């Protein structure tokens, strides 16, 4: 979608009040107005408990419809409320991407006994002893749903590994053994083989499993009208499955069905290899760019801004890059905490929203707010939701300005200005389809800066203004097509034709 913008419409610490789908429905018109063209919603199906964010997946077919795991609704609401939200978003020309978790299942209904061997956490190819009989909760019969939508029941042989032996009370990584069992090979090589991540690891080489998950993919797209998927944890999943699964979904939903995947790695080579392995079936989040933002924000003036795009997916393979600043995995308190400091976030968002390359994603926590764990004193003195305090965002104002700039001015060819250790930026030259379009973006991580920029003699005499309000003075383009554009220290400036 031309100048499309994706919003991740959740953060890790949302309250367990069942209100997210209703909130999203109420917010649909606003999202469309500000230029959001797609939302990525969290895992919407039943988890192992109501308060779970959705990644401890229990039943892929229960979207808040059946009484299971002590609840009908999920953390985010009921199936009916989700369907109403999707309809409202579609009415406002906003697409909906479902977060799809196919790597593992949690919350088994009963324990089963089977052969397994404990493996070393740092080298999952190394066995720690001999195979033995263990017991774990790998049986799923979905008592609340029964056979509705699918009669498939999960057993130990549908998994490749588990995280505990309930018979001995041992928490460890166990590889299930038996005919046709073993770790998938088409996964990331970290820890020897990174097939196992958590809970009951789904065996994506098992033909019964492959058939059931493809069937679910067809069902869920037809049932809800999703426009795309965000694929979770693909570095832990056999890339052959990911490629074939998305092909199968597109057979039912159409070739324009969108997919972006989370491959959490700062190694550009691993990302490039994955895109090639799946034959371009999915875009990827540009994790290396996120880590560049994180480093720039923490190092301040010691970071060389000229290198901000180095080693990133958006630089080497922009057609498959989804650019982002932060998300639920990188936010404070998460296991992958790598938060971009607040002072740098406007610069980072300015870059991803105004540059030509990449599909930018905005984080709910940056546009609205995130919650943090309350201190004991705050729990005693403040009203909190499950011991958490919600803090207001300081980025919505600048994000609205940048979204407006993207929608109205960020068109045409681009000139990158990454030629200085502290003051960098870019020029968008506009196009004939959007009269008055074009802009200059400057960013500084140190002192005030400026650049003399040649916009072309066809711009001679024009007056340009700074959109964010940081610089009141205007710039007049000279007869030679050049103008001197400024930026305040540790800030960004967005210049457009008045």
- DSSP string over 345-384: HHHHHHHHHHSSSSEEEEEHHHHTEEEEEPPHHHHHHS--
Is the alpha carbon torsion for 376, 381, 384, 386 positive or negative? positive
pLDDT digits (tens, 9 = 90+) for 307-317: 999 999 999 99
Distance, in Å, from the CA atom of 103 to the CA atom of 424, rounded to the nearest integer, reads 41
Would you give the DSSP letter of residue 478? P
Quick one: how far is CA 52 from the chain centroid?
18
What CATH topology corresponds to 6-102+207-406?
TIM Barrel (3.20.20)
Least Cα distance to 232 among 452, 497, 44 occurs for: 44
| Residue corresponding to tokens 């068109």 | 411
Rounded mean pLDDT, 357-375? 85
Instruction: Quickly state the pLDDT bin for 3 (edges 50, 70, 90).
Output: confident
Distance, in Å, from the CA atom of 326 to the CA atom of 53, rounded to the nearest integer, reads 17
- If you average pLDDT over every residue of the chain, what do you get? 95
Element (H, E) at 163: strand 159-165
Where exactly does CATH 2.60.40.1180 map onto the chain?
413-497
Helices 20-34 and 396-408 pack at an angle, to 10 degrees, of 50
Q: C-alpha angle with apex 29: 28 to 35, nearest 5 degrees?
A: 95
Rounded mean pLDDT, 161-167? 98
**Residue 174 CA: distances (Å) to CA of 135, 162, 194, 197, 469:** 11, 5, 13, 11, 58
pLDDT digits (tens, 9 = 90+) for 262-304: 999 999 999 999 999 999 999 999 999 999 999 999 999 999 9
Distance, in Å, from the CA atom of 170 to the CA atom of 51, rounded to the nearest integer, reads 25
> Which residues have a catalytic role annotated?
232, 262
Least Cα distance to 11 among 362, 278, 273 occurs for: 362
pLDDT at 200: 98
Percent of residues, the chain, with pLDDT higher than 90: 92
Percent of residues, the chain, with pLDDT higher than 70: 95
pLDDT at 375: 52
pLDDT at 389: 47
The class that CATH gives domain 413-497 is mainly beta
Q: Which CATH number fits domain 110-202: 3.40.50.620, 2.40.110.10, 2.40.30.140, 3.10.180.10?
A: 2.40.30.140
pLDDT digits (tens, 9 = 90+) for 404-457: 999 999 999 999 999 999 999 999 999 999 999 999 999 999 999 999 999 999
pLDDT digits (tens, 9 = 90+) for 66-106: 999 999 999 999 999 999 999 999 999 999 999 999 999 99
Instruction: Quickly state the pLDDT bin for 376 (edges 50, 70, 90).
Output: low
Element (H, E) at 125: strand 123-127
Helix (H, G, I), strand (E, B) or coil at 181: coil
pLDDT at 373: 54
pLDDT digits (tens, 9 = 90+) for 387-417: 554 554 579 999 999 999 999 999 999 999 9
pLDDT at 392: 47
Do the Cβ atoms of 475 and 413 come closer than 8 Å?
no
Distance, in Å, from the CA atom of 368 to the CA atom of 389, rounded to the nearest integer, reads 14
Torsions phi, psi for 440 (to 5 deg): -125, 125
* Cross-strand partners of 230: 99, 260
pLDDT digits (tens, 9 = 90+) for 183-220: 999 999 999 999 999 999 999 999 999 999 999 999 99
Where exactly does CATH 3.20.20.80 map onto the chain?
6-102+207-406
pTM to 2 decimal places: 0.95
Name 444's Cβ contacts closer than 8 Å, sequence gap at least 6.
Answer: 305, 422, 423, 487, 488, 489, 490, 491, 492
Q: How many Cα atoms within 13 Å fall on the side-chain side of residue 442?
A: 26
Instruction: Quickly state the pLDDT bin for 369 (edges 50, 70, 90).
Output: confident
| Residue corresponding to tokens 């090979």 | 185
Helices 239-253 and 268-277 pack at an angle, to 10 degrees, of 50
pLDDT at 496: 98
Residue 105 vs residue 377, higher pLDDT: 105
**Cβ neighbourhood burial of 36 (10 Å; 0-12, 13-18, 19+):** buried
């Amino acid at each position: 979608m031309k100048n499309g913008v994706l919003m991740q419409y959740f953060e890790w610490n949302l309250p367990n009040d069942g209100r997210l789908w209703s909130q999203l429905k109420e917010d649909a018109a606003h999202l469309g107005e500000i230029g959001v063209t797609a939302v990525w919603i969290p895992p919407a199906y039943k988890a192992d408990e109501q308060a779970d964010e959705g990644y401890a997946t229990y039943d892929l077919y229960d979207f808040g419809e059946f009484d299971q795991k002590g609840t009908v609704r999920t953390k985010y609401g009921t199936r009916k409320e989700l369907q109403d939200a999707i309809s409202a978003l579609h009415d406002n020309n906003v697409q909906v991407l479902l977060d799809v978790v196919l790597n593992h299942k949690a919350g088994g209904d009963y324990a089963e006994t089977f052969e397994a061997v404990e493996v070393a956490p740092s080298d999952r190819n190394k066995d720690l002893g001999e195979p033995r009989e263990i017991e774990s909760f790998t049986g799923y019969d979905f008592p609340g749903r029964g056979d509705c939508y699918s009669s498939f029941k999960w057993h130990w042989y549908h998994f490749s590994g588990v995280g505990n032996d309930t018979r001995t009370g041992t928490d460890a990584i166990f590889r299930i053994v038996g005919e046709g069992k073993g770790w998938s090979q088409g996964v990331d090589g970290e820890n020897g083989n990174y097939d196992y991540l958590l809970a009951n690891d789904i065996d994506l080489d098992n033909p019964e499993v492959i058939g059931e998950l493809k069937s679910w993919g067809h069902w869920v797209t037809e049932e809800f009208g999703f426009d795309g998927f965000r694929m979770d944890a693909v570095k832990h999943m056999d890339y052959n499955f990911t490629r074939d699964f998305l092909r199968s979904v597109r057979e039912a939903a159409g070739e324009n069905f969108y997919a972006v995947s989370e491959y959490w790695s700062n190694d550009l080579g691993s990302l490039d290899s994955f895109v090639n392995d799946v034959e371009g079936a999915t875009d990827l989040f540009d994790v290396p760019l996120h880590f560049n933002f994180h480093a720039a924000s923490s190092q301040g003036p010691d970071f060389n801004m000229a290198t901000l795009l180095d080693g990133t997916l958006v630089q080497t393979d922009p057609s498959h890059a989804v650019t982002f600043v932060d998300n639920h995995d990188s936010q404070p308190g998460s296991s992958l905490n790598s938060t971009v400091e607040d002072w740098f976030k406007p610069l980072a968002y300015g870059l991803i929203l105004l540059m030509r390359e990449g599909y930018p994603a905005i984080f709910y926590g940056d546009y609205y707010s995130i919650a943090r764990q309350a201190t004991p004193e705050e729990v005693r003195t403040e009203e909190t939701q499950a011991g958490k305090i919600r803090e207001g965002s300081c980025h919505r104002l600048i994000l609205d300005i940048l979204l407006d700039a993207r929608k109205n001015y960020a068109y045409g060819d681009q000139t990158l200005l990454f030629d200085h250790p502290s003051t960098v930026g870019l020029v968008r030259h506009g196009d004939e389809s959007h009269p008055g379009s074009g802009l200059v973006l400057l960013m500084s991580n140190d002192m005030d800066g400026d650049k003399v920029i040649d916009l072309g003699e066809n711009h001679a005499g024009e007056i340009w203004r700074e959109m964010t309000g940081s610089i009141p003075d205007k710039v007049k383009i000279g007869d030679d097509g050049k103008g001197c554009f400024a930026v305040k220290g540790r800030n960004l400036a967005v210049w457009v034709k008045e």
